[in-house]
Amino acid sequence: MKKVSFIGLGVMGFPMAGHLQNSGYQVTVYNRTQQKAQAWVEQYGGEMATTPAKAVKDSDVVFVCVGNDNDLKQVILGTNGAFSGMKANAVLVDHTTASASVARELAQQAKSIGLAFLDAPVSGGEAGAVNGQLSIMVGGEQAAYEAIEPIVQAYAKISKLLGPIGSGQLAKMMNQICIAGVVQGLAEALHFGQNAGLDCEQVVEVISQGAAGSWQMDNRHQSMIKGEYDFGFAVNWMRKDLDIALTEARNNGSTLPLTALVDQFYAGVQKNGGGRWDTSSLLTRL
């Protein structure tokens, strides 16, 4: 069985690494807060290391899931970073939602030292990670993807190679653009229904079965009606993702008026103290 490593044990990485361990892989983990790595080992077994370089020693595949471009560079290129400890021909799979430009930069660095790199952001949120039902969007070379595809099935509902390096990150931007519009539409519909005196639970039961139905409607309407947002994908992270998408749009000539508007609505949620609330908290503005 292949030896793998997982760097970054946040709300997504912690259960994803657990699925790998439970699937029979030999997993070594690294997290900047070592107590989190220790908690992972106590829950799942496996091993922990004190630096990324030590964590990746002798691993065939290295998975990374951290916060942003800067975090990514730190754990991969920094002192005792992953690239400094990986063995020849190993593959690094980046599950971070980051920019396409940093993916291309890291892929070039990897190639120069005899490694492979795939950008592979995920969608499905914390629940998808816990339940092993993530959608994985991948950019990179076919051979590297074929090497890791059976492994990511440990936590994937679907995984697909979408093109060259950067394609995974660009696809994730499309994903977040779609979510922004859908959540805002759902928030406005619930706001309208409440003001109209309707039983929104009953209305959603009906309209969710038609063309208006969505994952957000199925999984978030009840908590939105109750005003419960202390869970799920945080507004702070969504704004980070939308900033990446809007920056890329300026570079490639795309016009994203709705995305830019919803991004500002999220800024309003942040100002009201909701930076850690779930993205469905757009309703609180209304």
Q: Can you give the pLDDT at residue 78? A: 87
In the chain, % of residues over pLDDT 70: 100
* Whether the Cβ atoms of residue 233 and residue 281 lie closer than 8 Å to each other: no
**How many whole angstroms from its chain centre is CA 274?**
20
For residues 248-262, average pLDDT:
98
Tell me the domains of the chain and their CATH numbers.
Answer: 3-163 (3.40.50.720), 170-285 (1.10.1040.10)
Q: What is the pLDDT of residues 169-181, one digit of tens each?
A: 999 999 999 999 9
> What residues are annotated to the active site?
172
Q: What is the pLDDT of residues 114-130, one digit of tens each?
A: 999 999 999 999 999 99
Q: What is the DSSP string of 43-81?
A: HH--EE-SSHHHHTTT-SEEEE--SSHHHHHHHHHSTT-
Among 27, 63, 64, 65, CA closest to 45: 27
Q: Which two tokens stand for residue 122?
A: 């995920």
* Whether the Cβ atoms of residue 76 and residue 106 lie closer than 8 Å to each other: yes
Q: Which residues contact 203 (CB under 8 A, 6 or more apart)?
A: 193
Q: Can you give the pLDDT at residue 1? A: 61
Q: Beta strand pairing status for 134-138 and 122-123? A: antiparallel
Q: Which two tokens stand for residue 26?
A: 């030999």
Predicted TM-score of the model (pTM): 0.96
Q: Can you give the pLDDT at residue 64? A: 98
